[in-house]
Structure 1
Amino acid sequence: MTLVREKRQKQSLRVTVPSISQANSWQRLQSSPPSSSSSSSSPGIDNLANFEKLAVLGHGNGGTVYKVCHRPTNVIYALKVLRFMEEPEMVQQRAFSEVEILRRVDSGFVVMCHGVFENGFSGADGIEDICFLLEYMEGGSLHDLLRKHPMLSENAISGIARSVLEGLHYLHSMQIVHSDIKPSNLLINRKGEVKIADFGVSRCIAGVDKEQCPSYMGTCAYMSPERIDPDRWDGVHSDGFAGDVWSLGVVVMECFVGHFPLIKPEEKPDWINLMCAICFEEKREMPETASAEIQSFVMRCLQRDWKIRGTVEELLVHPFVTKFEESAAEHLFYYASVM
């Protein structure tokens, strides 16, 4: 959606929101802004009173994501508002963990965070929020794209895989495990670029207790065997990096077959069926129309034994990723432009 269209529909898109407090921006949650953000680059970007909510982009993980406009510059951002409602201690722990991660990351393959605010919006119950001011990705999520185009070309899927691998390579080098790679956490901009988002269940493994983020947190459909059944698959000794690779393999396969690939379309995606499919059943075969390259890529990602699963470094030079390097961006741009 262009800025002209956004301005024309602005009145109809406006939603009722609580009053905005101007206090405590950038305080207590972090001692300094994230490396990827700059509150001085745009006037008033460190003050939530300068933003207007235009629409709701999505819900999930205890929060709501809004499309907002920065009035002084007319620049569009996404604002993730996390409420401390049920289980406030767990939500707070996850929020502060996410803040710590967002302070550190700065990559073209990760959605940029421009600021983190506390006491931004307060509801009638007096419960305060934490707000994340994020880069706005015009194309929405890969989940949104797959609803319009359930089956993507191998060229486009290759570009998605390469972007996610580049993002994971960066995050893993920072000792960050994402833990929730799935279509709704992979966002697309108007250029067709794919970036990793949502660090609500992510964790830093360097000098941090592994139990800070329990293995069951995240979306179970995309979880690796060692996370779902750590006793059987030696998950206790896994650093978590291989789990992100498994999740990417499921995403790649889903993009090709047009539905969640580990269970049959008619099966109910409940915990029992998912656990059995991920940990015990025979591997789902790729359709005969799949090239040898994508079949090999998926096989390397979906090795149940995490110790022999493909690594990010290996997969970045896999033939499926390198074969379509010149044309992948164009194909993905096409899908993003016709959403």
Structure 2
Amino acid sequence: DPNRVYAGLNQLTGELMAVKALSLMDRKGNHMQKQLAELQQELEMYKKLSHKHVVGYIDSQLDEKTSTLYIFLEYVPGGSICSMLERFGKFSEELVRNYTRQLLLGLEYLHGKRIVHRDVKGGNVLVSRDGIVKLADFGASKSNNGATIT
């Protein structure tokens, strides 16, 4: 899969972050200029989002040699709800209520910004070390004006 997420370290500040690498080459090896323009437009919108229950955007960088766009995001060490269920088994009803309430607060914020996530699932809901739920992976999101959010 040419699109992957890695753990990263800011060499100046020591801040841990998630690094999402997106290949901008099609299967024939052609650079996807239109896709890059759309992604950059999406990132401009993502930069404006700031909420406790939405994974934070840090920066992005294009490697023109490899046609890879790197997106630097807030690192959420607990992983996804899917991976937590695999590790710890089913959640108590109380915990499900807690996570659901937080998830809805994040969705309410996005909807207030006229953004629809469109891919809310266990793999896209991350949990911080202190139990804070954060919505991630905006690849399928749409803003009300039809632009996609990554």
**Same fold flag (TM > 0.5):** yes
Match of 2:141 in 1: 202
Amino acid at match of 2:17: Y
Match of 2:55 in 1: 111
Q: Which runs of 5+ in 2 are unaligned?
A: none
Between Structure 1 and Structure 2, which shows a larger proportion of strand residues? 2
Are 1:80 and 2:24 an aligned pair?
Answer: no
Whose relative contact order is higher, 1 or 2, with alpha carbons under 8 Å and at least 6 apart?
2
Amino acid at match of 2:66: I
Structure 2 Cα separation of the partners of residues 89 and 116 of structure 1? 16
Say if 1:165 and 1:99 are closer, same or farther in 2 by CA, change over 3 A.
same
CA RMSD of aligned residues (A): 2.1
The offset of 1:89, in angstroms, is: 5.8
4+ residue stretches of structure 1 with deviation over 6 A?
none
Identity %: 30
Are 1:63 and 2:3 an aligned pair?
Answer: yes
Structure 1 Cα separation of the partners of residues 80 and 8 of structure 2? 17
Say if 1:164 and 1:97 are closer, same or farther in 2 by CA, change over 3 A.
farther
Q: Which runs of 5+ in 1 are unaligned?
A: 1-58, 214-339
| Equivalent pair of 2:25/2:67 in contact (CA under 8 Å) | no
| CA deviation map 1:140-179 (0-9, x unaligned) | 1111101113311011101110111000000000000111
Structure 2 residue matching 1:101: 3-state secondary structure:
helix
Aligned ranges 1:141-220 → 2 under 5 Å: 141-205=80-144, 208-209=145-146
Are 1:130 and 2:69 an aligned pair?
Answer: yes
Are 1:99 and 2:43 an aligned pair?
Answer: yes
The offset of 1:93, in angstroms, is: 5.8
| Equivalent pair of 1:98/1:200 in contact (CA under 8 Å) | no
Aligned ranges 1:1-339 → 2 under 5 Å: 63-86=3-26, 88=32, 91-92=35-36, 95-119=39-63, 126-205=65-144, 208-209=145-146
Residue-pair matches, total? 144
Structure 2 Cα separation of the partners of residues 66 and 174 of structure 1? 28
